[in-house]
Amino acid sequence: MERMHVLVCAGTGCTSSLSAQVVEQIQSELVKLNLQTEVKVIKTGCFGLCQKGPIVAIHPDRVFYCHVTPADAVEIVAEHIYKGRPVKRLELTDIDEVTKEKIFNIDEIKFYAKQQRIALKNCGVINPEDIDEYIAMEGYMALGKALTTMTPQEVIDEVKKSGLRGRGGGGFPTGAKWQFAANQPKGQKYVICNADEGDPGAFMDRSILEGDPHVVLESMAIAGYAIGANHGYVYIRAEYPIAVERLEIALKQARELGLLGNNIFSSGFDFDIEIRLGAGAFVCGEETALIQSIEGKRGMPRPKPPFPAVSGVWGKPTIINNVETFANVAPILRKGSEWFASIGTEKSKGTKVFALGGKISNTGLVEVPMGTTLREVIYEIGGGCPDNKNFKAVQTGGPSGGCLTEADLDTGIDFDNLVALGSMMGSGGMIVLDEDNCMVDVARFYMDFIVDESCGKCSPCRIGTKRMLEMLTDICEGRGTAETLFELERLAHKVKDTSLCGLGQTASNPVLSTLRLFKSEYDAHVFDKKCPAHVCKNLLTYSIVAEACRKCGLCARNCPTSAITGVLGKEVYVIDPAKCIRCGACMTACRFGAVLRG
């Protein structure tokens, strides 16, 4: 006899902020009050608001609590669950812009109000480890509908009509890819779900798998039916242990109910899925390298064509789709292509999930219709840059993408617009940068990542990216010259034009994008030997303004290298630049603002 459901996020973000202990605490408190049979505690996937985790939601009351500690859990049980008095101080709130009053109603909170959830629909709502809850949300109905009332070609046509494009980065039309594979001669074919998600800062796919693993399995089976494959692989990195575990549980439950296996829905269609763990190399997300890795070989890309749809895993026709792409397939079949095509922009249909990170108040996972502007995502949903800092740029597409600036904020986000602005959609990482970020340093960060991740098969990427990293490091450390800048740009184009796979072909994008948009920052590093954002240590100088110095000596006492000299109460203190390691300890120590950073 259940009268209340307590939903606690058990995604990776909230788990690391002790959500498991919160669950235990709630459960033991319920037992103390003898409420354990009427109040059910459910561990769900991500609610999206990772910044405010752990999140606890109470239904049917629709009350959301944030930053819940195990101690708070005691209060929530005693006050809210037992006595029916929501604990206001822990409730998720917004401020009404007009009345300046607090908003408690979850449906009016801006973070959620602007979002539209298709791929994340069940995340944070169902228990991902209970197939019944997925089924309650119409789960596996799309597969049932496809197998019992549609031909494979009708399934493909439906996906084509929906306008769904791949969410893994390229934006390739999914229906066309399936058609390509379906047109290959009958025989062994494969469906692969790409859950490698190597883009630093991205966690969309992980959250879908943690929060709603069945939608991916159901959609893979639909894809198998459409192209004539009876075997699927989920290629997922071993660094995602929670997602792997939930996938395994989901697979077992689906097999037990006969939703995977032989003769599904008595249709004669067989389909089963295997999990393959990757070791977490970025290049293994590239489809041809991924196939090599599944086959047990070293993950290295190969030239295309032949495309995987013709010759994929074990040389057989194979389709590879991203996790989020699959998460849209079952809803499309269930609700119809017209419904899906009515959402989004002319050429980009549906929604897109973004992992918002960097200098943003509401770090987390958001899903918005295509065409939503960057301003809406960053300011209305994300809450803007914290600490009243000025927004500088937003990086999309990770190490393959580029930056967008203030001028682009009112552009609707879709595949084509972002490319036209010199960036790309990528898989959905969205890193916000503010005035304290140095754009040269950002470019160097991504290049450093690429150098580590290049597989080394072709020389433009293997050697070229290493050289670019050296040049960027020179610029950041004050050794850059006009020639460095010139060579950097030239090499960036060369690597882009001559690399074998997407990794090398896009590796220059962060450099080219920042060079184009923030040339003045590069120039300041090279010609003035200054880092305008005060990030590049070698270009910083600390000095003490004599007039402001009160001769207290606090700076000298805090300096780890004894670079500051003066006489207490008598002589102003001075910093010896030769000894200074630019740690900033003096600046933090000085109570009179006498230390100057330049």
Partner 1 sequence: MKTLQDLQKLRDEAKKRVSMREGDVRYRVLVGMATCGIAAGARPVLNALVEACAKEHYDCTVTQTGCIGMCTYEPIVEVLDQDGKKTTYIHVDAKKAVEILESHVKNGILLEAYSLQ
Beta-ladder partners of 41: 6
Nearer to ligand FMN, 125 or 208 (CB): 208
Nearer to ligand FMN, 413 or 564 (CB): 413
> 475: which 2 tokens?
């610029």
Q: Does the footprint of partner 1 cover residue 108 (CB under 8 A)?
A: no
* Minimum CB–partner distance for residue 225 and partner 1 (Å): 14
Helix (H) or strand (E) holding 549: none
State the Cα–Cα distance between residues 458 and 489, nearest whole angstrom.
Answer: 20
* Chain position carrying tokens 């909230």: 14
> 409: which 2 tokens?
């904020």
Residue span 168-207 as binding mask against ligand FMN, x where in contact by CB under 6 A, dash where not: xxx-x---------------------x-xxx---------
* Cβ count within 10 A of residue 384: 18
* Minimum CB–partner distance for residue 105 and partner 1 (Å): 11
Which of 182, 229, 281, 503 is close enough to bind ligand FMN by CB under 6 A?
Answer: 503
Q: Does the footprint of ligand FMN cover residue 425 (CB under 6 A)?
A: no
Alpha helices in 524-567 (DSSP H): 554-558
Residues whose CB is less than 8 angstroms from the CB of residue 470 and which lie 6 or more positions away in sequence, other chains included: none
Residues whose CB is less than 8 angstroms from the CB of residue 449 and which lie 6 or more positions away in sequence, other chains included: 200, 282, 399
State the Cα–Cα distance between residues 158 and 93, nearest whole angstrom.
Answer: 41
Nearer to ligand SF4, 80 or 457 (CB): 457
Beta strands 269-278 and 261-264: pairing type?
antiparallel
Stretch that binds ligand FMN, among 152-160, 317-325, 417-425, 457-465 (CB under 6 A): 317-325
Q: Does the footprint of ligand SF4 cover residue 503 (CB under 6 A)?
A: yes
* Minimum CB–partner distance for residue 352 and partner 1 (Å): 25
Q: How many residues make up the chain in this entry? A: 598
Q: Does the footprint of partner 1 cover residue 268 (CB under 8 A)?
A: no
Nearer to ligand SF4, 455 or 488 (CB): 455
Q: Does the footprint of ligand SF4 cover residue 428 (CB under 6 A)?
A: no
Please report, as residue ranges, which positions from 274 to 333 form the binding site for ligand SF4 (by CB under 6 A): 283, 301
Rg of the chain over Cα atoms, rounded to whole angstroms, equals: 27
Q: Does the footprint of partner 1 cover residue 78 (CB under 8 A)?
A: no
Q: Does the footprint of ligand SF4 cover residue 501 (CB under 6 A)?
A: yes
Q: What angle do CA 95, 98, 99 make, to 5 degrees?
A: 70
Under DSSP, the state recorded for 399 is: G
* Minimum CB–partner distance for residue 288 and ligand SF4 (Å): 9
Q: How many residues bind ligand FMN (CB under 6 A)?
A: 23
State the Cα–Cα distance between residues 17 and 6, nearest whole angstrom.
Answer: 18
* Cβ count within 10 A of residue 241: 11
CB-CB contact of 43 with 65 (8 Å): no
Q: Does the footprint of partner 1 cover residue 82 (CB under 8 A)?
A: yes
Judged by beta carbon distances under 5 to 8 A according to partner kind, the member of ligand FMN, ligand SF4, partner 1, none in contact with residue 462 is: ligand SF4
Q: Does the footprint of partner 1 cover residue 85 (CB under 8 A)?
A: yes
* Minimum CB–partner distance for residue 282 and ligand FMN (Å): 6
State the Cα–Cα distance between residues 535 and 436, nearest whole angstrom.
Answer: 7
Which of 257, 279, 545, 548 is close enough to bind partner 1 by CB under 8 A?
Answer: 257
CB-CB contact of 173 with 160 (8 Å): yes
CA quadruple 247, 332, 396, 468: dihedral positive or negative?
Answer: positive
Q: What is the DSSP string of 189-252?
A: -EEEEEE---STT--HHHHHHHH-HHHHHHHHHHHHHHHT--EEEEEEETT-HHHHHHHHHHHH
Which of 20, 141, 343, 552 is close enough to bind partner 1 by CB under 8 A?
Answer: 141
Q: Does the footprint of partner 1 cover residue 238 (CB under 8 A)?
A: no
Judged by beta carbon distances under 5 to 8 A according to partner kind, the member of ligand SF4, partner 1, ligand FMN, none in contact with residue 137 is: partner 1
Please report, as residue ranges, which positions from 12 to 71 form the binding site for partner 1 (by CB under 8 A): 38, 59-62
Judged by beta carbon distances under 5 to 8 A according to partner kind, the member of ligand SF4, ligand FMN, partner 1, none in contact with residue 118 is: none
* Minimum CB–partner distance for residue 487 and partner 1 (Å): 59
State the Cα–Cα distance between residues 453 and 467, nearest whole angstrom.
Answer: 15
* Minimum CB–partner distance for residue 126 and ligand FMN (Å): 24
Alpha helices in 518-576 (DSSP H): 519-523, 554-558
Sheet architecture: strand order including 4-9: 39-44, 4-9, 56-59, 63-65
Which of 10, 290, 500, 585 is close enough to bind ligand SF4 by CB under 6 A?
Answer: 500
CB-CB contact of 136 with 55 (8 Å): no
Q: Does the footprint of partner 1 cover residue 507 (CB under 8 A)?
A: no
123: left (phi over 0), alpha (psi -120 to 50) or beta: beta
* Minimum CB–partner distance for residue 126 and partner 1 (Å): 7
Torsion angle of C-alpha atoms 523, 529, 532, 536, degrees rounded to 10:
110
Nearer to ligand FMN, 70 or 308 (CB): 308
Judged by beta carbon distances under 5 to 8 A according to partner kind, the member of ligand SF4, ligand FMN, partner 1, none in contact with residue 241 is: none
Stretch that binds ligand SF4, among 110-118, 188-196, 410-418, 497-505 (CB under 6 A): 497-505
Which of 83, 89, 186, 570 is close enough to bind partner 1 by CB under 8 A?
Answer: 83
* Minimum CB–partner distance for residue 504 and ligand SF4 (Å): 3
| 121 phi and psi angles, rounded to 5 deg | -50, -45
Positions that interact with ligand SF4 (CB under 6 A): 283, 301, 454-458, 461-462, 499-501, 503-504
- Residue ranges in contact with ligand FMN by CB under 6 A: 166-170, 172, 194, 196-198, 282-283, 285-287, 320-322, 325, 427, 501-503
Query: Which residues form the interface with partner 1 (CB under 8 A)?
Result: 1-5, 7, 38, 59-62, 82-85, 125-126, 132-133, 135-141, 144-145, 148, 257-259, 265-266
